Chain A
Amino acid sequence: MKHFYNLLKKEVKELLTREVIASMVFMIVFFVFMGKIIKGTKEEAKEINISILDLDSTQYLQNVLNMVSRQGIEINPIEAEDVEDAIKEAKEKNATVLLVIPSGFGAKMQEMEKAEIELYSIMKGLSIKETISSEIIKSVIRALNNSIATSFIQKAIPGKDPADILSPIHTKNFVILKERTIPGTPGVLSILITSQSIMIPLILVMVIMYTGMMIMTSMGLEKESKTLETLLSLPVRRSHIIAGKMAGSAVVGFMMTVVYMGGVRYYMSPMMESPEISIQLEEFGLSMTPLGYVLLGISIFLAILAALSVCIILGVFAQDTKSAQTMTYPIMLVAFIPFFLSMFKDIETLPLALKIIVYAIPFSHPMIASKSLIFHDYPTVLWGIGYMIIFTVITMWIAVRIFKTDKVLTAKFPIKWKRH
């Protein structure tokens, strides 16, 4: 254990260079900066300022507009002769939208006839802010329509609830999924499950990427700095050397993942807010139990071990840090296969050949587990854990075998390009 700790300390010191620390600090600063910009833009977009040119001199909309202004939307009446002057004035007042009520609007409303209003959106650019503003304006118009329709119904059929006439059919939605009947629509359920299970694959891919890169770099550094021969001649077990490298790379890789994911979460948080979906999966009995969290933790841990043991075998073939980092790409690609597939498809619904490939990739199993555990499907998760244990034991055994032979010093890829 003393030797392992000694090796771990050395690995962390070697991998956690000033450059690596600087890149982590830069990542934090970058994401915080970008997050603040996006948050600011979203707040700014909420500041809607509506100018109104009432050519009908009607007070018909006043009640509705009062209701809208109570939602924090600024409303400014404009005194102008025509639309052109009104646009000029609205621009001066920094309005987001100009609402023109044409003459005769009130009369048509009195007769419960369809009337027209003109809406001039004043765009200041083509940024995301304008898109958010236009969504808010659309909801204002919806509120206006709803309010006027309600007043029409109240006038035409007194004593009747206008809501019953506007939506006479009330649907109760149920989804039948894996022998469970869940209240809700497939769309909402899918969004909820995906939003809960997307983070695990994403984090896993990032951890595999960073830890894999670290262990490869560690092997590349040993060869580049010509320290490997000395290390292998020291009185320390080969398995301790491998374990030290894996643990050291995992520590630095985790640090980088935490920084990256923390940054991404901060950066994405303003965009991820979705107030429309307030239902929680817990209400449907679709939440992870404490046992589920333990199994997911084991599954992720084993996937990382599997990735590290494959990477250390590949790292043996590295001649320097540059070639070591290039060798990380195949592992990353393999990790991305189940990641993208799990984003767009349910692995269970894939064709058999593709399903076999996905199940053979050890990194698929935590991604599958993150969804299966929501449905309390423990056998699938346990099979995955069993497979990953077998995979990791075999790859680690191969790694130790390689380190016990002189292949660790002499191995090179046998590919030789023929010159013509």
Chain B
Amino acid sequence: MEKAIEVKNFVKEYGNFRAVNNISFEVNEGEIFGLIGPNGAGKTTTLRVISTLLQIASGSVKIFNRDVIKESASVRKLISYLPEEAGVYKNLSGKSYLDFIAGFYSTDRKGKTIMIEKGIEIAQLGKRINDKASSYSKGMARRLLVARALMVEPKLAILDEPTVGLDVVNSQEIRKIIKDFAKKGTTILLSSHNMLEVELLCDRIALINEGVIIEIGTSQELKNKYNTSNIEKVFLEAIK
């Protein structure tokens, strides 16, 4: 099976501050892989590098065997990135926003229409999809953004805190959609503060702290290793 993500000894620095320090991990195609860690651990920086947004100081990051720095244009065709603090264009309606995004991925009109319909189905905004995004609540905007990221059926979806700002019902719905996409072959890389969410969703997990990966494995493997009942306790034990 082809590796979806191959990260080798990657280092990212902001001036004198080393945000990510020599991390390595691999994600298999069709896998849901979770990065968990506290604020400032380096999760978002890692996701941004994989999304071709940031340069790296050393190491290599490959997506389906394409280098994110040297072949960034090619990588962007395979991925869809949902930033944690993403927003929507306030003067566009939800539907216009989906139309705008679909315009970069679809090759024909029919494909674009199907993509937009898929987005509308995921967003579940009803008639409000035709309203301007500036009138949406935080949860509605997040649903639209998740829909935008997944409707294009990327080979790799990079989701930074996908359910942030959503209520329990909506969070569960989004988790179900993510699982369905993975079953259809989309590889998912996500980060979350919500350890329960990661445990429920991910096939494998990497624990990251202060820019270093301290553990990688399935949630069961990690729980067994640290002899604890949940991932939250695993994390606390691992950083001791």
Contact residue among B52, B83, B103 (Cβ-Cβ distance under 8 Å from A6): B103
A2 on interface, CB distance cutoff 8 Å: yes
Tell whether, in the assembled complex, residue A233 and residue B87 are in contact, meaning their CB atoms are under 8 Å apart: no
Within 8 Å CB of A3, what residues of B? 103-104
Tell whether, in the assembled complex, residue A235 and residue B85 are in contact, meaning their CB atoms are under 8 Å apart: no
Within 8 Å CB of B53, what residues of A? 229, 232-233, 406, 409
Name the CB-closest residue of B to A233.
B81
Contact string against B for A residues 318-353, beta-carbon threshold 8 Å, 1 for contact and 0 otherwise: 000000000000000000000000000000000000
Name the CB-closest residue of A to B75.
A235
Residues 178-203 of A at the B interface (beta carbon under 8 Å): none
A14 on interface, CB distance cutoff 8 Å: yes
B90 on interface, CB distance cutoff 8 Å: yes
Tell whether, in the assembled complex, residue A2 and residue B103 are in contact, meaning their CB atoms are under 8 Å apart: yes
B54 on interface, CB distance cutoff 8 Å: yes
Tell whether, in the assembled complex, residue B52 and residue A233 are in contact, meaning their CB atoms are under 8 Å apart: yes
B7 on interface, CB distance cutoff 8 Å: no
- Report how far A88 CA is from B53 CA in the complex, Å: 84
B91 on interface, CB distance cutoff 8 Å: yes
Tell whether, in the assembled complex, residue B104 and residue A236 are in contact, meaning their CB atoms are under 8 Å apart: yes
Name the CB-closest residue of A to B77.
A235
Tell whether, in the assembled complex, residue B79 and residue A226 are in contact, meaning their CB atoms are under 8 Å apart: no
How far does the Cβ of A380 sit from chain B's closest Cβ, in whole Å? 43
- Report how far A230 CA is from B84 CA in the complex, Å: 11
A139 on interface, CB distance cutoff 8 Å: no
Residues 156-203 of B at the A interface (beta carbon under 8 Å): none
Tell whether, in the assembled complex, residue A10 and residue B104 are in contact, meaning their CB atoms are under 8 Å apart: no
B25 on interface, CB distance cutoff 8 Å: no
How far does the Cβ of A106 sit from chain B's closest Cβ, in whole Å? 79
A-B contact count (CB 8 A): 73
Interface size on A (CB < 8 Å)? 25
A17 on interface, CB distance cutoff 8 Å: yes
Contact residue among B88, B89, B104 (Cβ-Cβ distance under 8 Å from A235): B104
Tell whether, in the assembled complex, residue A229 and residue B91 are in contact, meaning their CB atoms are under 8 Å apart: no
A173 on interface, CB distance cutoff 8 Å: no
Tell whether, in the assembled complex, residue B51 and residue A233 are in contact, meaning their CB atoms are under 8 Å apart: yes
Contact residue among B76, B82, B83, B100 (Cβ-Cβ distance under 8 Å from A10): B100
Within 8 Å CB of A229, what residues of B? 48, 51, 53, 81, 83, 86
Q: A230-B81, A235-B104 are in contact. Are A406 and B55 (CB under 8 A)?
A: yes
Most central of B76, B80, B104 by chain A CB within 10 Å = B104
Name the CB-closest residue of B to A407.
B55
Tell whether, in the assembled complex, residue B76 and residue A226 are in contact, meaning their CB atoms are under 8 Å apart: no
Tell whether, in the assembled complex, residue B91 and residue A13 are in contact, meaning their CB atoms are under 8 Å apart: yes
Name the CB-closest residue of B to A240.
B104
Residues 220-242 of A at the B interface (beta carbon under 8 Å): 221, 225-227, 229-230, 232-237
Report the interface size class on chain B.
20 to 34
Within 8 Å CB of B86, what residues of A? 226-227, 229-230
Within 8 Å CB of B85, what residues of A? 226
Contact string against B for A residues 118-147, beta-carbon threshold 8 Å, 1 for contact and 0 otherwise: 000000000000000000000000000000
How far does the Cβ of A47 sit from chain B's closest Cβ, in whole Å? 51
- Report how far A405 CA is from B52 CA in the complex, Å: 10
Tell whether, in the assembled complex, residue A225 and residue B103 are in contact, meaning their CB atoms are under 8 Å apart: no
Residues 72-99 of A at the B interface (beta carbon under 8 Å): none
Q: A17-B91, A406-B54, A409-B54 are in contact. Are A6 and B104 (CB under 8 A)?
A: yes
B238 on interface, CB distance cutoff 8 Å: no
Within 8 Å CB of A227, what residues of B? 86-89
Most central of A221, A227, A409, A410 by chain B CB within 10 Å = A227
How far does the Cβ of A13 sit from chain B's closest Cβ, in whole Å? 6
Within 8 Å CB of B92, what residues of A? 10, 13-14
Q: A235-B77, A235-B105, A406-B53 are in contact. Are A225 and B90 (CB under 8 A)?
A: yes
Residues 16-59 of B at the A interface (beta carbon under 8 Å): 48, 51-55
How far does the Cβ of B76 sit from chain A's closest Cβ, in whole Å? 4
Name the CB-closest residue of B to A410.
B14
Tell whether, in the assembled complex, residue B91 and residue A405 are in contact, meaning their CB atoms are under 8 Å apart: no
B114 on interface, CB distance cutoff 8 Å: no
Within 8 Å CB of A6, what residues of B? 100, 103-104
Tell whether, in the assembled complex, residue A14 and residue B91 are in contact, meaning their CB atoms are under 8 Å apart: yes
Within 8 Å CB of B103, what residues of A? 2-3, 6
Known A13-B89, A226-B87, A233-B53; further 15 A-B contacts with Cβ < 8 A: A6-B104, A10-B92, A14-B92, A226-B85, A226-B86, A227-B89, A230-B145, A230-B148, A233-B81, A234-B76, A235-B73, A235-B76, A235-B77, A405-B55, A409-B48
10 closest A-B pairs by CB: A6-B103, A226-B87, A225-B87, A233-B81, A235-B76, A235-B77, A406-B54, A229-B83, A233-B51, A14-B91
